[in-house]
Amino acid sequence: MSGLLRPGAHRAAGVADDAAVLAALLRVESAWARALVAAGIATEAEAAQVAAAAAGVDVDLPALAVASEAAGNPVVPLVALLRDAAGDAGGAVHRGLTSQDVLDTALVLLARDAVARVRADLVVAGDALAVLARTHRDDVAVARTLTQWAVPTTFGLRAAQWLAGVGDAVARLDGLTFPVQYGGAAGTRALLADLAGPDAGHSDRAAPALADALGLTATDLPWHTRRAALTGIGDALTTATDALGVIAADVLLLGRPEVAEVREGAVAGRGGSSTMPHKQNPVLSVLVGAAARQAPALAGQLHLAAAGAVDERPDGAWHAEWPALARLLELAVTTASQAAELVAGLQVDPVAMASRVDAATASGALDTRGATGEAGRLVDLATTCWEETRG
């Protein structure tokens, strides 16, 4: 899909585009050659030669994409190119692996790096929200339930609730694991064991060595048809976009001219209209809100694919994951970056909030019994929890 239809996609450049996927695939193949040394199946010289070939192989990405159709995935044609580039060490390329091992591990690498970027921007957003919560701890505002005025609250408590949502998302991301994939042709790891022979006895070292080389988690069993690793990543990223979507929705409501309690920070060249020069549109909130509406369907696609991962190798369910995961990674990275900027620049008008409380109270439209209650204590609790969560 063109970046023209994904405003802000430049923020996620290199997250899961073709060049990033290719680089991850080559990293896996290079790391596997080193893992074969640990398993006693390849020599140090062969591993070095494969690594050099992976670093220097000339790949025509459009041509590789076309060639991928013949095998149903890009690994098969890439392995052929890499074996040619490795020369007499070509036999050590991809030895004992299957295409899904390489592509799954490459996608996990991309996901791990994307999650780290999302977390970093969530921390930026959370820190800014903590400041807002403390600054406006006692600034009274009208609370709304089912779209109608209800009782007084404080803007500090509203910001603290946003902060708690971001904290929940960070905790979900921190709970993720990023496993390598290694099962061989049908998940039995038989070929590598045969190559190692009865006297080598080191084939079980390959998966941990691969995990160590890539900074991923080793697994006892391959997960070709158990897709919880990827659905978990999708769910955690969607938890993040959900939390950010709530912030965007509230900012859009509170920033309407007839409400005018908050507004996005003004940035030169942003928010203009093609026909109405007087307008300053809340573009970041709009884009964050749009992303929050897209992410759940992408995570749902991962679950739909997981439910159809039959036999020892899925017949299309695996393939259906790729575009959904790639898009979700890009979307989450973009959205977290936009939301961090949105929150950092948010402008709050306590006077407008107070005047609305006064008017609503005078008209009898606001129940002021108990006033703001323990709002301040809840703000303190939320900001303390955030400090523990952010690390």
* Number of residues in the chain: 391
Give the bridge partners for 152, in sequence order.
142
Helices (H), 5-98: 18-38, 44-56, 61-71, 75-86
Q: Active-site positions?
A: 273, 313
Cβ atoms of 114 and 13 closer than 8 Å: no
Pick the closest to residue 375 from 164, 144, 154 (CA basis). Answer: 154
Q: What is the β-pairing status of strands 347-348 and 262-263?
A: antiparallel
How far apart are the C-alpha atoms of 90 and 81, rounded to whole Å? 10
With a CB cutoff of 8 Å and minimum separation 6, the contacts of 212 are 218
Token pair in block for residue 146: 């089912």
How far apart are the C-alpha atoms of 70 and 73, rounded to whole Å? 8
Beta strands (DSSP E) in the chain are 140-145, 148-154, 262-263, 347-348
Pick the closest to residue 31 from 48, 17, 6, 19 (CA basis). Answer: 48
Cβ atoms of 348 and 261 closer than 8 Å: yes
How far apart are the C-alpha atoms of 385 and 71, rounded to whole Å? 50
How far apart are the C-alpha atoms of 6 and 154, rounded to whole Å? 35
Q: What is the DSSP string of 142-155?
A: EEEETTEEEEEEEH
Q: Is 229 helix (H, G, I), strand (E, B) or coil?
A: helix
Cβ atoms of 331 and 296 closer than 8 Å: no
CA 97 to chain CA mean position, Å = 27
